[in-house]
Structure 1
Amino acid sequence: MKLQVVNPLETADWDHTVLSFKNYSFFHSQAWGRILSESYGYKPSYFCWTVNDLYHQIAAVMEINSFITGRRGVSLPFTDECEPLVHQVSENHFFKDLIEYGQLSSWKTLELRGLTFTPENIPSSEIYLGHTLTLNPGVEFLYSGFRNTTKNNIKKALRKKLQIIFSNSYDSLKIFYRLNCLTRKRHGLPPQPFQFFHNLYKHIIHQEKGFIVLASYKEKIVAGIIVVHFGRRAILKYNASDYVYKNLNANYLLVWEIIQHYVKNGFESLNFGRTNIHVPGLKEFKIGWGSKEYMIKYYKYNFRDKAFISAQNKEFGFHNAIFRKLNLSLLKWIGEKLYKHVG
C-alpha cells in the first residue's frame, strides 16, 4: 500500500470518496473537517492508503499545535468517534505509518477515537458507548420497539401541546446557543465558542445538511437539538434545554419528530452520539428508543514513552463544581480561550 497525507479541504470529490466506504460517517466529511479547521486553526492531515491509486484505508487526523497541550495528532477533535475508513484492513501499515509520521512531526501524542481493529496487546485509553437506531423498518415498527416509558413520555409531551419546529434560520441558531450555554453551565462545563456554531451553521445547517429542531411551549423555546446528516445517516449532535421546563418531556418529542422525519426521507440510521459509561440515565434514555448499543474505544499513543497509554476521563471532576458557580459571561470567555487547546 502507498501512503498519501492529504488535506481533504483541498481535495476534489472528497465526500464522494468517503461515501464509497461502508463505514462512512458525517465526521469523515469535508464539511466537518472545515468546521474544525476554521473554528480552531487545526491542520488537516488525513492519511490515505492506496493501491493502484484507489483508496483502501483512510484515517482522518487533525494536528493541534498548542502551547498548553503540545503538538498532537487527534482523530478527530470534538468528535464522538472517527473510525478509520476501510476497504481492506492493514494493521501493520496503519500503526507504523501513523507513528512514523507523528515522530517526524514532533507530536507529543496521537489520539484515535474509535477503532474496530487493534492488536490485543494495545490498551484502550478510554471507553464510551454508542447507540444507533436502524430506520429502515419504518415508523410503526420502530414505535412498537420503544420502551413503555419512552412511549409514555412522548404522549405526555403531546398532551402539553408542544410545537416542534425544524429550522435552518440563523435566529434559531442564536436561540439554540442560548439554551446550549445554560445546559453546559448546568453540567459544569464551559460552552464551545459561538464561532464554532457559526461555522456549523455556515457549512451544515445553511447548506441543508442538518437542522436546528426546537420545541416551543406557549411561544417559548424550551429545548432544542442540532441534527446533522451525511449520505443516508443522521446524528443527534447537540442538545440543549431549559431546566425549568424539564417536566414537559420536550426531548422525547424532539427525538420522535426527528425519527419520523428521517424515516420519511429514506435515511437508513440515526446515531444518538457518544455516551459516558458513568452516566447511566443517558444510556437508558437512548436504549429506550430501541437503539443498538456498541462500544467506542479510544487509543492514545505517547511518543516519549513509545507506547499506547491509558488516560483519565477529564469530563467529570472538581472543576464541574467550580464552573457551575461562575457567571455565564465568564464561562463563555473560558470556552473561547480553552477549547482550541483541548481538542
Structure 2
Amino acid sequence: MNFLTEDKFGLADDFITGSPRATPFHTTAWLRLTRDAFGFRPLYLLRGREPGPPECVLPLFEVDTLWGKKIVSLPLRDKGGAIYTGTGALEAAIDDIIDFSSTKKYAYIHIKTDNPEEASLLERKSFVNKGQWPTSIIRLEKDFASTRKNFTDKRINWSINKAVRNRLVFEEGTTLADVGDFYRIFLLNRKRLGVPAYPRKFFEKIHELFMTRGAVKLFFVRRHDVRLTAIMIFLLNKKAYDVYSASLDEAFEFRANDFQMFSVIQWLCDNGFGEYDLGADSPYQKTLIDYKRKWGSETKDLYFFYYFIRSKDITIQDSDHPRYRLLRSIWKNMPDTVFEKIGSKLIKYMA
C-alpha cells in the first residue's frame, strides 16, 4: 500500500492535472488546504509501477468526528473519487483502502463520485449508494453571445438592465484585505441561512495556495462603496467551479446576484473557459436548482457511496432537510460573535 508523501506531490499533480476528470479538489494544493485548515489527515492512495508515474490517485482524508473516525473523499466538498488511467489500478486502490480501514476500525469509508464507471465498481466492492445530488453544469460556448442564447429565462435581460441602472460594478479582488471583505459577506450570508461558517483562516489559506498563482478568482459586485456579493471561482484546465459565494440582504433589491452570475459567465467566455460547474445541491433545494437551470445549466448526478465497517448504516447529512429547521433557526438567532466562534470550530465535524 502506497500513500502519497510530500516528496511525490509534484509527480502526483502532473498525473492529476493531466486527466480530464481532474478538479482543483484532487490536487495537492487542496490537500494542503484541508490538512492545514481543519487538521484532517490526508491518505492519498497511489497505484502504479515504480519509478514510473501513478496509474491511480484516490484522494482520501481521515476525519475525526464526534461519532468516531471515518475516511472521506472528499470532506466538505461536493467532489471526490479517483483519478486513474485504468480500472485495474482503480480496483486495486479501492481494495487497498478497504483493507487499511478494516484493520484500523474506522466507522466507514465515504466516497463521493460523479463517475458512473467508478460508481459501478464501488457497488461491486460492497459500497452502498445512499443517494445522489444533482450537479449543475453550464457548457460555455467560445463567445459570450452564443452562450447567452442558452439562457432560458427571458427575465434575465430585465434583471441585468436593472442592475446597470443601479450602477452595479463587477470587480476582482486580489489581496488579503479583499479576502477579509469576502469573509464578512460570507459570514452574514451563512448566518442568514442558519448554517455554520468556515473559519477565516480557511479563506486566507485559499489566498496563499490558490489565489496567488491565479488558480482562484475572487469577484465582487459593488454598488457605490458597498460590496453586495462575493464569489470565489476555482479554475483548472479551462473549467471553472463556483465554490464559495455569498451576498448581503440588500443584494436582491438591486439584482446583484443575477448581475454577478451574468458577469462571471461573460468573464469565463472571454477567457476561453469551456465549462462552469455550479456545484451539487440537495434535492430539497429545488428553487436553487431551478435558478441555475435558467442560466442554461444541465445536471449530472453526484453519488454518495459508503462502505460500512463499525457503523451499520447512515443518513446523508443534509442541512436542507426539514428535520434541521429548528437547529437552523437557532443558528440564525445567535449573536454574530458567538456564531462565528462556535460555527468555525463545529464545521469540521460536519465533514
Q: TM-score, normalised by structure 1?
A: 0.92
Q: Is 1:79 the equivalent of 2:80? A: no
Equivalent residue in structure 1 for 2:170, among 164, 168, 177? 164
Which 5+ residue runs of structure 2 have no aligned equivalent?
none
Distance in 2, Cα, partners of 1:78 & 1:152: 36
Distance in 1, Cα, partners of 2:249 & 2:7: 39
Query: 1:9: how far off?
Result: 7.7
Query: 1:104: how far off?
Result: 2.5
Q: Deviations over 1:120-172 (max 9, x none)?
A: 77532232110112224421110011121333322322222200111111111
Tell me, what secondary structure is at the counterpart of 1:11? helix
Tell me, what secondary structure is at the counterpart of 1:12? helix
Q: Which residue of 2 aligns with 1:313?
A: 317
Q: Is 1:327 the equivalent of 2:335? A: yes
Distance in 2, Cα, partners of 1:83 & 1:134: 22
The one-letter code sitting in structure 2 at the alignment partner of 1:248 is F
Q: Quick one: structure 1 residues 136 and 88, their matched pair in 2 at CA, closer, same or farther if it must change by over 3 Å? A: farther
Report the count of equivalent residues: 338
Distance in 2, Cα, partners of 1:215 & 1:83: 34
Q: Quick one: structure 1 residues 51 and 10, their matched pair in 2 at CA, closer, same or farther if it must change by over 3 Å? A: closer
The one-letter code sitting in structure 2 at the alignment partner of 1:158 is V
In the TM superposition, what are the counterparts of 1:54-203 in structure 2 within 5 Å?
Answer: 54-66=53-65, 68-90=66-88, 92-115=91-114, 116=116, 117-118=119-120, 119=123, 122-147=127-152, 148-203=154-209
Q: Which residue of 2 aligns with 1:339?
A: 347
Q: Which residue of 2 aligns with 1:39?
A: 37
Percentage identity across paired residues of the two chains: 19
C-alpha RMSD of the superposition? 2.0
Asked if the contact 1:126/1:313 (under 8 Å) is kept, the reply is no
Which 5+ residue runs of structure 1 have no aligned equivalent?
none
Q: Deviations over 1:317-336 (max 9, x none)?
A: 02101111111111111123
Asked if the contact 1:69/1:342 (under 8 Å) is kept, the reply is no
Distance in 1, Cα, partners of 2:220 & 2:135: 24
Q: Quick one: structure 1 residues 15 and 303, their matched pair in 2 at CA, closer, same or farther if it must change by over 3 Å? A: same
Query: 1:199: how far off?
Result: 0.8
Q: Deviations over 1:60-85 (max 9, x none)?
A: 1011234x232211101111111321
Q: Is 1:260 the equivalent of 2:266? A: yes
Q: Quick one: structure 1 residues 261 and 8, their matched pair in 2 at CA, closer, same or farther if it must change by over 3 Å? A: farther
Q: Quick one: structure 1 residues 185 and 9, their matched pair in 2 at CA, closer, same or farther if it must change by over 3 Å? A: farther
Query: 1:94: how far off?
Result: 4.2
Q: Which residue of 1 aligns with 2:284?
A: 278
